[in-house]
Structure 1
Amino acid sequence: MSQLVIASVEAIPIRSEPSRPRRSALGQSMGFDYGLVLVRTACGIEGLGEISMLWDGMGGRACYEVNHILAPTILGLSAFDIPRALARMEEVIRFSRGSNTAKAAIEMALWDIQGKHLDTPVFNLLGGRMRDSVPLSISIYMDDPEAMAESAAAMVAKGFRTIKIKVGQGRDRDRAALAAIRAAIGDDIAIRVDANMAWRSPAVAAASIRALEEFGIHSVEQPMAPERLADMALLRSQVSTPIMLDESIWSPEDAALALRAGAADILNVYVSESGGIYNAGTIFRMARAFGTDATIGSMPELGIGTAAQIHLGLSVQDFDCPGDVCGALYHARDIIRETIPVRNGHVHALTGPGLGVTLDPDALRDMRRDASE
């Protein structure tokens, strides 16, 4: 595989605008500072990766890490040496969760190169397809109850069968929003709720969840701060609704702590937060070993990152909980030529070689930002 030697790695800061307002317990999202990663081999194959991290808006910083810290550690490796590449990147940036998205972008580009070289989709490199599509949920952001209900009804009309509601506006307002949404979409549509760490204690979280349970909620995502695993385990014993952990799960090590603590019914796994497809798949297998469900969460990604999620979702052994594998829908414009195949509440397989997506040079020209911007 000498022709697949990594010859260059380049990260380009980009900025994307949201397709609709995004307000949650984390605040208002005004835009997305992300990054495009291009990995090229000695024989000219180019792999695509995406830096997508909503948390700190520091796509430019992550691009710097790729260009000046991570890239030198993997030059000269084969694109097939993903475990070795991950180990080398970990050696130079340890214990920094914020760097996981930079590592993930490089790693997804390596998977893309492998698939292009072998002329096969990435899901085949991950062991093959377990399914042809992945069930989806779609987020409804904080607003007046009537506006949230209208948004939810519009998504159901588009074919979504699971709606994820952002909560944390206060118990009465959250309850009013759920009541309006349930009335608008009927009883056959599943409702997830996402607290984004809004509640300060198990008692507050339990009371807030009980106030919503009459609306038949599927699960409650990240009710408290990430490190409060013992409190999350206590909460599980106090409510009947399954508890999903999201911000608590940044790595296989995080997953081990949460699973041992009995803190979750469902793990929400991110390709970007986990540091790549390899680690995200490891977390899925860990959850299965503990008899815990797992799904895929969204930053939200543009098309390249969404493609990586799709290949993971198609290949893991269990995927029963609808996931957020449709991040590209939250952006006003994508950076790829293709349209992510979302139909009837599912995202379907990308069957082209590698990740199955190609870069739109016009979009890149319009979205790229200099490091100083």
Structure 2
Amino acid sequence: MEITGMKLFAIHLPLKVPFVVSYHTYDYMPSIIIKLETDEGIFGYGEAVADEHVTGESWEGTYQTLKHTLAPVIIGCNPMNLEKLHEIMDKTIYFAPSAKAGIDIACHDIIGKKLEQPVYQLLGGRYHDEFSITHVLSIGEPNEMANEAAAMVKQGYNSFKMKVGTEVKQDVMRIRAVRDRVGEDISIRVDVNQGWKNSANTLVALRSLGDLNLDWIEQPVLADDIDGMVDIKLKTDIPLMIDEGLKGTREMREIIQKRAADKVNIKLMKCGGIYPAMKLAHQAEIAGIECQIGSMVESSIGSAAGFHVAFSKKNITSVELTGPLKFSKDVGNLQYDVPMIRLTEKSGLGIDVSEKIVNELSVFQDRVQ
């Protein structure tokens, strides 16, 4: 089997409401949909969601990287030879993780369709039967976030990921307001997205949060400050999760060696796709570290890819893949059974992609042969 062509669609995914994190407010999510074609008539879909603050890539730059740099070197390759394919991409361009992730995901979709198996069967088979969906609360006023959380509890949600990372005192008020509103039995995870900058600010915050029974605090310090995570971990009993600070195997090795986190958040867009994500999960498993599969607010394509990884590994104990629930229009039909997610046994990624909607949402597109 050979890759014979690549279609690229640069799209804007419309959000129901703006999504607010510490470093940006999104009115829509820019994404790139990839369709890989093969000489056997089997095609696969992938997705690349770049983020200047996390992956170090822009939407426009990632599109050009796919079109001019990566497409020419992978056309003619066998999509089933994943180790070799990643070596070719890595030798061609340094980093560019979301661009590589899009190609990797499309290749897994092709392999699954070729073998008539869901992608999770390619990764060791299904371990989990279902995952609880965590509702993500974007940054707002304390009462607004508390009201949204209370409304979601009525819909059946039992866990929340709170986006914070502005000013410590205001963030503490946000977290306390949500806890007071939803009660003690609801899980709350706090994602700072680097917003508290350093260990000193973080420790000030944690002194005010110790009585709130939080599941964990995620990435309170700047991404490269792994030593700052070590300092915080030594001084708190609230579990810590690394997200932006984990990109690939080198960072995972340092995290393990320094005991810098209790949990890690693996994102396909940060590490280069499904194949590298499994390597990170294996590293973490050896070290006894639990993992979460997160996302960059991706469509059904990227979200489905993340779910296939999550469902296949015992040490992946939580997911945060809620992009399709946030969009007013999506390119695929990944099905959620709120407050749970369960995968089907359909081959490949297990979703149907509407090229009509892909074209409708496209800002520009190309085909490379």
Aligned to 1:347: 341
CA drift at 1:49: 0.3
SS in 2 for 1:31: strand
Question: Equivalents in 2 of 1:330, 1:260: separation in Å?
Answer: 37
Matched, 1:366 2:360: yes
Report the 3-state secondary structure (helix = DSSP H, G, I; strand = E; otherwise coil) of the residue aligned with 2:35: strand
Is 1:186 the equivalent of 2:183? yes
Q: State whether residues 193 and 220 of structure 2, in contact with CA within 8 Å, keep that contact through their aligned partners in structure 1.
A: yes
Q: Using a 3 Å threshold, how does the CA distance of structure 1 residues 371 and 59 change in structure 2: closer, same or farther?
A: farther
Does residue 335 (structure 1) correspond to residue 331 (structure 2)? The answer is: yes
C-alpha contact 2:118 2:346 (8 A) present in aligned 1: yes
Distance 2:231 2:169 in 1: 24
Q: 1:269 aligns with which of 262, 266, 272?
A: 266
Contact map agreement 1:36 1:50 (CA 8 A) in 2: yes
Query: What letter matches 1:117 in structure 2?
Result: K
How much does 1:344 deviate? 4.2
Question: What CA distance in whole angstroms lies between the structure 1 residues aligned with 2:250 and 2:197?
Answer: 24
Question: Matched residues, percent identical?
Answer: 27
In the alignment, the residues of structure 1 paired with residue 321 and residue 31 of structure 2 have an alpha-carbon distance, to the nearest angstrom, of 18
Q: Which residue of structure 1 aligns with residue 35 of structure 2?
A: 38
Contact 1:33 1:60 in 2 (8 A): no
Deviation per residue, 1:123-165 (Å, 9 max, x gap) = 1111100012223322111111111011111222222221011
Following superposition, the deviation at residue 347 of structure 1 comes to: 1.5
Aligned counterpart in structure 2 of residue 197 of structure 1, from 177, 194, 197: 194
CA distance in 1, matches of 2:175, 2:17: 20
CA distance in 2, matches of 1:264, 1:325: 21
Does the residue aligned with 1:350 lie in a helix, a strand or coil? coil
SS of equivalent residue, structure 2 residue 112 = helix
Partner amino acid for 2:357?
A: A
Supply the RMSD in Å over aligned alpha carbons: 1.6
Q: Match of 2:306, as an amino acid? A: Q
Letter in 1 for 2:208: A
Aligned to 2:350: 356
Residue in structure 2 matched with residue 61 of structure 1 by the alignment = 61
> Number of residue pairs matched?
363
Q: Secondary structure at the match of 2:46?
A: strand
Q: Following TM superposition, by how much is the alpha carbon of 1:270 offset from its aligned partner in structure 2, in angstroms?
A: 0.3
Give the letter aligned to residue 105 of structure 1: G
Equivalents in 1 of 2:72, 2:168: separation in Å?
A: 51
* Whole-Å separation in 2 of the counterparts to 1:53 and 1:154: 31
Q: Please report how far the alpha carbon of residue 87 of structure 1 lies from its aligned counterpart in structure 2 after TM superposition.
A: 0.5
Could you list the runs of 5+ residues in structure 1 that have no partner in the other structure?
none
Report the TM-score when normalising by structure 1.
Answer: 0.93
Mapping for residues 79-90 of structure 1, pairs under 5 Å = 79-90=79-90
Displacement of 1:252 in angstroms is 1.7
1:38-117 alignment runs, 5 A limit: 38-55=35-52, 58-94=58-94, 96=95, 99-117=96-114
Q: In the alignment, is residue 162 of structure 1 matched against residue 159 of structure 2?
A: yes
Amino acid in the other structure paired with 2:38: T
Alignment of 1:151-300 (within 5 A): 151-300=148-297
- Aligned match of 2:322: 326
Over 4 Å off, 4+ runs: none
Secondary structure of 1:127's aligned partner: coil
SS of equivalent residue, structure 2 residue 216: strand
- 1:355 match: secondary structure: coil
Q: 1:303-342: CA deviations, max 9, x gaps?
A: 000010111011012222x320222222221011x2x332
Write the letter of the residue equivalent to 1:25: S
- Summarize the Cα distance change of 1:344–1:365 in structure 2 as closer, same or farther, 3 Å threshold: closer
Letter in 2 for 1:81: N
| Gap regions ≥5 residues in structure 2 | none
